[in-house]
């Protein structure tokens, strides 16, 4: 899984370095076995954001992109889009992606939905189906993709903040940024990769990868 993610991320444009952050020696050995770059982080990092912020304090980087290790079909173009936006728009502290939501995803709490302001900034993220479709012709539902780009200072600020009420309620860390007045720019992409959240997801991904060989 990690090797598939690493290989695809390395194809993206605009990245100076691709590194796996982990507190698990088994993952570190797996990364080293395929020649990847890896750094060990403390086991008490409460989230991926905390883990990346811990490492980023020692990096000389203007921006950082957080890519989950459970996205073996991630599109390098999606990462390139975030990297390009971070470089061209330093005023945007956080950048992420969304894609049109399929009808069957609206009631799935593992598919996080997002609603946007007219300028493309996130208004809210939820596991619930938002917006409520009372009238036709309104906002087209969007599914959030869990890839985040941060200006370095925004990342360090976010990691220093305590968990917020809405974040605890929805178990969505990005709500911490919104509750503290930190804007999140959302870029729209046409299709989403398949993240591995369940055994069914894993089976789908394995089938796709096998068919590509």
Give tens-digit pLDDT for 28-54.
Answer: 999 999 999 999 999 998 888 999 999
Confirm if 164 and 176 have CB atoms less than 8 A apart: yes
DSSP H helix total and E strand total for the chain: 8, 8
Domains (range + CATH), the chain: 63-212 (3.90.550.10)
Which pLDDT belongs to residue 48? 84
End-to-end CA distance of the chain: 15
- Residue 163: HSE in the Cβ half-sphere, 13 Å Cα cutoff: 12
Q: State pTM to two decimals.
A: 0.86
Residue located via tokens 């009420």: 165
pLDDT tier at 22, thresholds 50, 70, 90: very high
Q: Please state the φ and ψ torsions of residue 183, each to the nearest 5 degrees.
A: -70, 150
Tokens of 84: 């390009």
- Other Cβ atoms within 10 Å of 51 Cβ, number: 20
DSSP class of residue 102? P
pLDDT confidence of residue 46:
81
Q: Is there a contact between 95 and 145 (Cβ–Cβ < 8 Å)?
A: no
């Amino acid at each position: 899984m990690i090797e598939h993610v690493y290989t695809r991320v390395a194809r993206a444009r605009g990245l100076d370095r691709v590194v796996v952050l982990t507190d698990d020696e088994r993952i570190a050995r797996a990364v080293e076995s395929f020649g990847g770059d890896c750094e060990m982080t403390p086991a008490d990092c409460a989230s991926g954001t905390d883990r990346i912020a811990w490492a980023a304090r020692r990096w000389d980087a203007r921006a950082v992109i957080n890519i989950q290790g459970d996205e073996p079909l991630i599109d390098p173009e999606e990462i390139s889009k975030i990297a390009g936006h971070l470089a061209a728009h330093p005023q945007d502290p956080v950048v992420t992606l969304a894609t049109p939501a399929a009808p069957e995803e609206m009631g799935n709490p593992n598919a996080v939905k997002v609603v946007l302001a007219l300028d493309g900034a996130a208004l809210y993220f939820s596991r619930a189906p938002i917006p409520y479709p009372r009238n036709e012709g309104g906002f087209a539902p969007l599914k959030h993709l869990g890839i985040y780009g941060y200006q370095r200072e925004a990342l360090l600020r976010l990691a220093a903040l305590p968990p917020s009420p809405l974040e605890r309620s929805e178990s969505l860390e990005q709500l911490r940024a919104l509750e503290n007045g930190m804007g999140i720019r959302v870029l729209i992409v046409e299709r989403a990769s398949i993240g591995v959240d369940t055994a069914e997801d894993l089976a789908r991904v394995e089938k796709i990868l096998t068919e590509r060989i």
